[in-house]
Amino acid sequence: MKLLVVGGAGYVGSTSVERFVEAGHEVTIFDNLSSGHRAAVPRGARLVIGDIADGSRLAAALDGVDAVLHCAARSLVGESMADPGLYYRVNVAGGVSLLESMRAAGVTRLVYSSTAAVYGEPRRVPIAEADRTQPINPYGETKLAFEGAMRWFSAAHDFRAISLRYFNVAGATEMNGEDHDPETHLVPLVLRVAAGEATHVQIFGQDYPTPDGTCIRDFIHVRDLASAHLLALDATGEADPSLEVYNLGSAAGFSVREVVEAARRVTGRAIPARVVKRRTGDPPVLVASSRRARRELGWAPAHSTLEQMVSDAWAWREAHPNGYADAPSDGTGPVAGARVAAGAR
């Protein structure tokens, strides 16, 4: 297939592109590099630098494309609370711009990298797809709003769309890993302490109603997410016009303390931890049921043990101590062979 991966220079996007290229697909990445990295563009993929709000650039990138994976979004809860306008602009208005450009180009197959934040505070866990969606922050609200737009485009314009909802992503491939600025996620912060870049990990609350008192989260390996994206892209080829929603998760979850302990085992470092007060808006347990994805997409996570996720993230860190910062900025990065499209800024 000829695929366009919007937001393909980010953490989830770039690892998915690696998988698509391996599977023999022809991949173009469309990314404004606002949080993605030029050096994350895998060998064999083409990069077009552009913004999803830029209809003419999108139109050119969509020429001849069979299907689109949309991973371009702002994704920090705290930032969304402080600046909701940014989230509506990028996640909703930007997304609708993509849908309109797809419609104009006659491209109707779409997979969306969504979030389980659309559920808000779940009434029960594991969460199923039909459970109530009631986001508690602009991040979840804007992702859900875009799912709504996908649904109506499916009805009006025969889109075959799939939305994948998941919580926490961890791990790395050899080439690509997690490098955010600022970093707010648990696994990379814990590994920063292991690397001696911070003195201790803060554990946000140990008085939750869970076995060890810390929050439980559903982590999936970024490689398993990449496989899910590929299966979903294939599935849009067979489906009738519709929006289908699938949760991706481990169904069990790991506690914050378990993550810290796994990192101590994997790295052999002490990793001091201090319990501090709860972070606002953190529900005690967030775990999704992925039964539907397993049954209908044939997805089976193969790398999502805590040990594997933490050790792959650690290996990537060890190989890239400064993340992507050390990569040359000539468009080849550490991945000689990645191509930057002519005309890209």
Residue 288 DSSP code: B
Take residue 293 and report the two structure tokens written for it: 């994805």
The Cα–Cα gap between 126 and 294 comes to 15
Q: Which amino acid is at 84?
A: P
Pick one of 100, 251, 282, 294: the residue that binds ligand UDP (CB under 6 A): 282
Q: Give the active site residue among 11, 112, 119, 139.
A: 139
Residue 181 DSSP symbol: S
Q: Is 6 in the site for ligand UDP (CB under 6 A)?
A: no
Cα separation, 46 vs 252, whole angstroms: 38
d(CA 30, CA 32): 7
For position 217 contacting ligand UDP by CB under 6 A, the verdict is: yes
Q: Which stretch binds ligand UDP (CB under 6 A): 86-94, 122-130, 199-207, 228-236?
A: 199-207
Q: Per rule CB under 6 A, is residue 189 in the interface with ligand UDP?
A: yes
Interface with ligand UDP includes 195 (CB under 6 A)?
Answer: no
With CA atoms as reference, report the closest residue to 251 among 71, 84, 82, 127.
127
| 104 φ, ψ (degrees, to nearest 5) | -65, -35
Q: Contact at 8 Å (CB) between 288 and 166?
A: yes
Percent of residues in the chain assigned helix, strand, coil, to nearest 5: 40, 20, 45
Smallest gap from Cβ 279 to ligand UDP, in A, equals: 5
Which of 168, 173, 176, 290 binds ligand UDP (CB under 6 A)? It is: 168
184 near ligand UDP, rule: CB under 6 A: yes
183 binds ligand UDP (CB under 6 A): no
Phi, psi of 274 (to 5 degrees): -125, 135
- Give least dist CB 328 to ligand UDP, A: 30
Measured from the CB of residue 75, what is the shortest distance to ligand UDP in angstroms?
Answer: 9
Q: Please state the closest distance from residue 202 (CB atom) to ligand UDP, in A.
A: 5
Which residue number has the CB closest to ligand UDP? 215
Interaction of residue 305 with ligand UDP, rule CB under 6 A: no
SS3 151: helix
Residue from 23, 43, 183, 202 that binds ligand UDP (CB under 6 A)?
202
Q: Name which position in 23, 136, 204, 258 contacts ligand UDP (CB under 6 A).
A: 204
Q: Which of 167, 171, 116 is nearest to 143 (CA)?
A: 116
Decide: is 265 part of the binding site for ligand UDP (CB under 6 A).
no
119 is annotated as an active-site residue: no
Q: State how far Cα 125 lies from the chain centre.
A: 21
Helix (H) or strand (E) holding 258: helix 256-267
In the complex with ligand UDP, the residue whose CB is nearer, 180 or 339, is 180
Other beta carbons within 10 angstroms of residue 238's beta carbon come to: 7
User: Rounded CA gap, 96 and 156, in Å?
Assistant: 14
Q: Contact between 285 and ligand UDP (CB under 6 A)?
A: no
Is 280 an interacting residue with respect to ligand UDP (CB under 6 A)?
no
Q: Tell me: does residue 256 bind ligand UDP (CB under 6 A).
A: yes
Contact call for residue 74 and ligand UDP (CB under 6 A): no
Per CB under 6 A, residues contacting ligand UDP are 168, 184-186, 189, 201-204, 215, 217, 256, 279, 282
Residues with catalytic roles: 139
